Amino acid sequence: MAAVSNDFDALESKGEIAHLYLADGSAPITGRSFGANTSAKGEVVFNTGMVGYPEALTDPSYRGQILVLTFPLIGNYGVPDEGIKDAYGLPEYFESNQIHIAGLVVSSYSWEHSHWAAHKSLAKWLKDNNIPGIYGVDTRALTMKIRSIGALLGNLVVNPSASTESESDMFSDPNKRHLAKEVSTKEVKVYGEQNTPSIIAYDCGMKFNIIRYFVDTHKVKLTVVPYDYDLEANPANIQWDGLFLSNGPGDPGMCPETIKSIQYALKLEPPRPIFGICLGNQLLALAAGAKTYKLKYGNRGMNQPCIDLRTGRCYITPQNHGFAVDTKSLPKDWKQLFMNANDLTNEGIVHVNKPFFSVQFHPEASGGPLDTAFLFDKFVGHVRKETQPLVLQDGLSFMKKTYKKVLLVGSGGLSIGQAGEFDYSGSQCIKALKEEGIEVILINPNIATVQTSSEKSEATPAADKVYFLPIRPHVVMDIIRKEKPDGIIVSMGGQTALNVGVELWNSGELQKEGVEVLGTQIPAIEATEDREIFSQKLAEIGESIALSYSATNIDEALKAANKIGYPILVRAAFALGGLGSGFAADDEELKELAAKAFATSNQILIDQDLRGWKELEYEVVRDSSDNCITVCNMENFDPLGVHTGDSIVVAPSQTLTNREYFMLRKTALKVVRHLGIVGECNIQYALNPKSEKYCIIEVNARLSRSSALASKATGYPLAYVATKLSLGKDLVTIRNSVTKTTTACFEPSLDYCVLKMPRWDLKKFNRVSNKLGSSMLSVGEVMAIGRTFEEVMQKACRMVNPALDGIEGAGSGLTSDEVPLEDQLKIPTDTRLFAVQRALEEGWGVDKVHDLTKIDKWFLSKLQNIASMRNALVKSGNLEKSFADNAADRMRTLKIAGFSDRQIANYSNLLPLQQGAAQVRALRKSLGVVPCVKQIDTLAAEFPANTNYLYMTYSGDHDDVSSSFDSPIMDSGDAFTPRKSFETRVRSVSMAEKRHDAVQESKDRGVVVLGCGAYCIGSSVEFDWCAVSAVRQLRKDGFKSIIINYNPETVSTDYDESERLYFEEMSLERVLDIYEREGAAGVVVSVGGQIPNNLAGPLAESGAHILGTKARDIERAEDRKQFSDMLDDLGVKQPQWSVLSSKDEAVEFSNKVGFPVLVRPSFVLSGAAMRVASDETELRNFLDLAADVADDKPVVVTKFILGAKEIEFDGVASNGKILNYAIGEHLENAGVHSGDATVILPAQKLYVGTIRQIKKAAAAIAKALNITGPFNIQFMGIENDVLVIECNLRASRTFPFVSKTLQANFISLATRAMCGLHVTPYNISLLDIDYVCVKAPMFSFTRLRGADPTLGVEMASTGEVACFGDDAHGAFLQALLATGFKLPKAGAPVLLSIASDPFRREFASAAKTLSKMGFKLLGTPGTASFYKEHYGLEITEVTKPADKGDDGPGSALDAIKEGGVELVINISEGTTRKDEITAGYLVRRAAVDFGIGLITNVKCAVWLAIAMGKGMEKFKAKSISEFYSLHRD
């Protein structure tokens, strides 16, 4: 039997059972022991610090207390060597010679630690000192209890069954003991014998760092005396110039001897300076004649904001005390010096004309920040009789400028490196400006964003005017001259906005128009962007960046590289997300990288290679009064060498000690103050993993991707606060938007862990390497919240890839059997994480994996825990066997480590998985293992917070919020029959019986809206706009709104948007958890894109009520075969198709209808694995790929029709009847994915007959599928024939585009329909619309090295923009410019390379236009001879490249690289995706790599030439409201 139990060791909780008994009579709290096997009594208190447990445990002020640490992950960095002593014989890393706490209570204990300075584990240290510790406690719930009823007496009992204590002997109050006497020195000790002046320090429990601070930093002679030393008698005959009163534990009233000596000192003439801290503050107050009192639960932590009442400045302070001074009792001549900004308690006193003062906090701070260390300077200055500087308010609060109108510059279309985070920051900025009554003008051509919406409400204000125009300096100036704003904000729109702001400032145009840059000023921004200035600025304050030199040509670059030594990092200056950067190992690699980098910037940077160092980041906020805080610190899972946007990031840092954490924080504040930043910025560091050596990588003086992450990770709205600060407000007066009562001048304390994981789409592109380096490649990110690292890692894996059930090695399907596992570990790639997990599953061990990856061993040990648990389950392979013993404990252990029900079912061989997961769920619930709901409240439960920002975890047993309903509405009306396992556990509510009350009940119960998940190619910010629109409409109609989403870049995850925000995964398991927990009325699955849509079936099967179109109808539309059969039944035309049952059948069908054919999998987004096959070989290859993607869903092969026109139909229906619709036409012919197409609305060139057919087909489909809610149908038009391509029963990516163009929010209408409310269609008359809107795709090919920048049936664009115009060609050109497209200058060379005669003929008139305009035409041989021969055009022939190196004189590549070509028009033959490297590919790739405008579609090329021929690049700036007024007029 013993051997069997060993198989499950990984699933068993370690340590003896332990109980924490509380004096309030509540049931004992159960956990496990990780310290000494003993019992301890004491007062239970909490500390909200996130680092510094060795310092806290040895702080004498904790004497007799059972300490609860609110940060859940403890023991990560072990404990340093107690034997290492400083110059005074004191332990270097500790605050006293022993542990003073009575016992330790934590949520999660790290059995494995990792740090260069660690000597032993925390558990061993506790055991060595006979101190008990308990883990597995819901420390948040315990903190909330202490907060509400006050500090409690407790008894921590290990192995309670063996305890012999009687109830009467259960508790003991340490406050009745003379604690100061217990911890005080028993003899007089002198430190710094040779120093002057001489200070006496009363030791009431003095921390060693105070001694070090006085003697090391201030060079004084410090004589430490016992607490009861009689100063008047002075038996040791000490000569003294100043008196210091130390911190210490307990009631100050129990130290009458100390008070008597202080009273003697107060009467001396001339007065000698006195300074007290913590207990010393209370003792000085009592000696002066004031009173003290016991606080309800004390202030203990590192983030207490204290206001200096001399200046109004606020400082972040570390504290540990249970008593406070009663300010009202201060006698004459004494004043309050500091005040707590949160609870307004006394934090310091001062005598009005004598050098006596004290503070309630620790200026020397160990652990904690050193922001108030100047108080030691002041005291020692007094002692040295130095004149003290006069401290005054700066008066800035009285000189606030008022602004009436502000221009906000957005970020434009989403691209790699600049994504949806700027929609969130811009939306927050608008909200902050509108609260101040400021008129907001916004320029942003990204029509898919929330910030460009014009619907206003009190809760969600909008910009007053929105300009959908290219973000170019001259366009911004046109708007400024027209609108005349007072100020401009360029820090909320990424690098795009920043670059425009810098250019306009340097040209003097902003100053000329009297427009002020709000927030950080341009010179400060330039100091962070220009490496030379930045390095110089840091040198001025004794800081340094990594070795780095700038170069303006390749020779300079080579010299710099050889000076630093290879390998080196090449970066382009003023570039976003590491664009144009990479590592070079030698001169040759450097030359190639430099050439490309110079295409995007005229200056490049050569940096020292610090790969393998830890990468860390701090988000810093500073106001104009110089209040400065760090809001969040983050640690990269990957060592330096991977761009932070491509790295897994953990917040807060997990492997930093108190010394490291606050060393980097101190530097951050110093740098930000020196640079003069006002608002928000982030600073990135490289930290040597084997020492405290660090260097600064960069400072971003603007809101960045990590700002959105930090805002969501902490609940601190950085963009909102930064906007308020840019208007001259100070941090102290801004409120904490979560607690609503405390100040924004604080540093959030997290009692959870956050993990950001990037999402890549590199597999969509041939020839793109999946290696990660200094240039960002990810297209989106997810954020997981939990209370263990294992939990957030597993959650994040499921979020980033819904096909995964958690973190897996070989089982993920993301590791290779062809490439040696060692190589997969050495090289960072988008799948390395899974290779790491595979190695751990296969027993490689943490040390070996660390040697290959340099990932910190602490992170790896956590992954090892997951691997061990997984291996135990796999070895068992049977659910009953795995849970035969200790079932609840094992299940809880797995769930705390983030294992999903599906994962457990999979390892237990319960197939099919959905039924298996339901079986695990039923077992889990029967064992009482259910998740609890926790709040993100910014202050680790220290203060009450009425916040709706929630997450779920198994590391806890109490919910922070209550639910109003016992059970949700479960639906029995769908054709999906709930299985028996569900029938037993759901309470079915008949909706028909109480139809009249149904809507009201739904409003009360609330509606769950599933958000968009991670941004990826095909699902981006447009679906966030849809989710936000749905939630806003629900709130408008009186429904409680509950949103589930896990994307930190989104507006939907702003806690102001909904009644309840669950920052959670959208797995079936978790959605059901929330649905049941909330007692919801229904779920909206149709506004968040494909991920929620795919959940419709499983949710309906589980009994959840799907609002809108039924799940069975969604499946009929999504399943290609069912949908095609339905169209045939309806008599609606579609291209010929066949369902794949074998490759041979597919080939036979394709030969019958004729190639090309389209291979289409079901249930996918953005054409994943969709391919056009032009022959049999391609078809067979593509079928393999599609079968992989489609899982067990059918794959359809369809005849691909060349030369057809694609038409987009977006509609909203109710009960099968269409309410409103919009018809948009694609500029490109069918074959370009709709997400990559240029879309024109209203359609300009459709026949009336075509439109009639489209409407008729759409009505038939809506009726057949009984659609209620949003839907999208794609049609193909061939002359007058209309064929249906596909239908999506959800919002499509064009919904924001359609809604904003027609000034009719389709999602609002759809939401009302889905909720069963009465709906009135919008009155839309296309004949009255006198403008056109053109939507253009935004690509990120510059970042995707090697990708072929051409278009096909699989989507490649990362974002979109749209512009309005009176004319379609004008709107098209503006939209093209808004994507960052560069127009050729007059007379510049234009290269034409067009593959076939039909395309050449189609482009002929455009070629003539370009020639007439004076452009110098170049052409590849076929193109040049065609235009010379048939049209007599003057065109210079250039040779086609045979390979990459074929760039000699007279070649196309030479023309691009050296010949000044400014536009390349390259039209390839079709939409087939070729694997071989063609001449066309080389030309296209060169154009992208050298930053030259590239057009690859003949229709777009023709339109571009027409627009340029009409001079449409010059346009008058018009806001969207001006276009709407045309429509209304």
The CA-based angle 996-1000-1005, given to 5 degrees, is: 130
d(CA 304, CA 783): 27
Alpha carbon 1199 to its chain's center: 43
Catalytic residue check, 983: no
Which of 362, 850, 1226, 1369 is labelled catalytic? 362
3-state SS string for 1231-1293: CCCHHHCCEEECCCCCCHHHHHHHHHHHHHHHHHCCCCEEEEEEEEEECCEEEEEEEECCCCC
Task: Determine contact, residues 855/637, Cβ cutoff 8 Å.
Answer: yes
d(CA 73, CA 1493): 51
Q: Which residues pair with 118 in a beta bridge?
A: 80
| Most distant pair of Cα atoms in the chain: their distance | 115
Task: Determine contact, residues 1098/914, Cβ cutoff 8 Å.
Answer: yes
Which of 278, 306, 797, 1500 is labelled catalytic? 278
d(CA 587, CA 584): 8
Q: Which residues contact 1429 (CB under 8 A, 6 or more apart)?
A: none
d(CA 563, CA 159): 64
Backbone angles phi, psi at 1502, to 5 degrees: -65, -45
Q: Which residues contact 366 (CB under 8 A, 6 or more apart)?
A: 52, 55, 95, 207, 209, 658
What token pair was written down for 517?
A: 């840059």
d(CA 702, CA 700): 5
Alpha carbon 1260 to its chain's center: 43
Alpha carbon 485 to its chain's center: 32
**From the CB of residue 32, how many other CB atoms can be counted at a distance below 10 Å?**
18
What token pair was written down for 1483?
A: 């030309």
Question: Tokens 């309630």 map to which residue?
Answer: 360
d(CA 671, CA 214): 26
Q: Which residues pair with 634 in a beta bridge?
A: 617
Q: Which residues pair with 757 in a beta bridge?
A: 782
Which of 364, 781, 1228, 1354 is labelled catalytic? 364
The CA-based angle 9-10-15, given to 5 degrees, is: 70
Question: Tokens 């310091």 map to which residue?
Answer: 348
**From the CB of residue 309, how many other CB atoms can be counted at a distance below 10 Å?**
15
DSSP 391-460: -----GGGSPPP-SEEEEE---S-BTTB-THHHHHHHHHHHHHHHTT-EEEEE---TTSSTT-----SSS
What token pair was written down for 361?
A: 């906090």
d(CA 536, CA 543): 9
Task: Determine contact, residues 553/602, Cβ cutoff 8 Å.
Answer: no
Catalytic residue check, 364: yes
Instruction: Please classify residue 1402 by burial: count the beta carbons closer than 10 Å to its beta carbon, then call 0-12 exposed, 13-18 middle and 19+ buried.
Output: middle
Q: Which residues pair with 350 in a beta bridge?
A: 335, 357
For 291, the 3-state DSSP assignment is strand
Backbone angles phi, psi at 265, to 5 degrees: -65, -35
d(CA 1029, CA 424): 14
DSSP 605-662: EEEE--TTSEEEEEEEEE-TT--EEEEEEEEESSPTTS-GGGS-EEES-SS--HHHHH
Task: Determine contact, residues 608/803, Cβ cutoff 8 Å.
Answer: no
Q: What is the distance between the terminal CA atoms of the chain, rounded to a whole angstrom? A: 86
Q: Strand 291-308 to strand 314-326: parallel, antiparallel, or no bridges (unpaired)?
A: antiparallel
Catalytic residues, by residue number, are 278, 362, 364
